[in-house]
Amino acid sequence: MADTNNKKINFFEKIAQIATSFTGSTMAFIIALCAVIAWVLTGPLFHFSDTWQLVINTSTTIVTFLMVFLIQREQNKDSRAIHLKLNELIASLQGPSNRLIGVEDLTEAELETLYKYYQKLAFLAKKEKNLSVSHSIEEAEELHNEKYS
């Protein structure tokens, strides 16, 4: 049962990848442009009727509806890949804090707390004469207090 579900998911993922690649192509733009031009040119033939307008409205609504999901899917995938790459960089370096690994899963309030933390660190770093010095807030405050007390 799980194998069947995985095959279905993989099938739809493959379709979504193909659709995403195609819809971002020049050919897709040309096809869409030709469809709009054909619709405009057929206006006089159908006397610019309500049905004629309904065809383009319905078509564009359906395409837009589907594209929203394709775009969101691709955005989620790209975002996750970037986060994983950044997590790998943080985890592999000696200096940075590992507490930022998985930061994308924090709540808005936790992200705001971290933002304030790094704002304070940036403020303290501006007071340093050597721009290449890197510290935690605790180290920066201690160093700052030692210098100016």
pTM of the model: 0.61
Distance in angstroms (rounded) separating the CA atoms of residues 135 and 96:
9
In contact, 144 and 136? CB cutoff 8 Å: no
pLDDT in tens, 86-122: 888 877 777 666 777 788 888 899 888 888 888 887 7
pLDDT in tens, 17-59: 899 899 999 999 999 999 999 999 999 999 999 999 999 999 9
The pLDDT value given to residue 149: 66
Distance in angstroms (rounded) separating the CA atoms of residues 125 and 132:
9
The pLDDT value given to residue 18: 92
Q: For the chain, give the number of residues.
A: 149
